[in-house]
Structure 1
Amino acid sequence: MLKISPHKGVIRFGKRGKLNPWYIGPFKILERIGRVAYKLELPEELSNIHSTFHVSNLKKCLSDESLVIPMKELRLDDKLNFVEEPVDIKDREVKQLKQSRIPIIKVR
């Protein structure tokens, strides 16, 4: 499996998304390049990304088909950053502190 960056395209409330996928795949290994790199067979959705990766960006996959995330559900940029956009706004409120106001937005 291939590691992607867990940072969102839209960072809301100063938090990173801990439920975002960290790895995508599994992908077939085509060949071993040197001692610490592998060449993977990537789908056409990732054709703009170089297919050779260091072992620190890979994770062994224990083939469980129920855990595979389809590539069509993910949006990745050219540096393998996970991009997420809010679907709709559920609720809005403003929290009043002593000297400031904090807008709180519930997003789906």
Structure 2
Amino acid sequence: MRAVIQERLLTAQSRQKSYADRRRRPLKFQEGDSVLLRVSPRKGVVQFGVKEKLAPRYVRPFLIVQRKCQPEPKAVVQWFDIPIQYYVSYEEAPVQILDRKINNLRHREISLVKVLWQHHGVEEAT
């Protein structure tokens, strides 16, 4: 009985996949095309154009001015050897302080520090 149910589930899945694949097509945009920006709601994020109870799914159309990033299959990824402990984790260690800044609030000063971490590049500094 269980084998029959699994077989029918697989049949239904493949049928639904074929229906979905008929409508799918690879998206290719050119310069000058207009695209809608999809906004996924998250907690604490200000939503675009909230006028009613519900926020819109898409933000206004944006014009594609320039195409910059083309994926390159031979791109070289920089590799870092990370020492892993026996309990399968590793510890981040600060290497250098890159920048300091003080935010002045009404009655407080908050110091912000940008830190370069071990095993990470400058673009991943927090």
TM-score where L is the length of structure 2: 0.26
Query: Rg larger in 1 or in 2?
Result: 2
Could you say which structure has the greater relative contact order, defined with CA pairs below 8 angstroms and 6 or more residues apart?
1
The structure carrying a bigger strand percent of its residues is 1
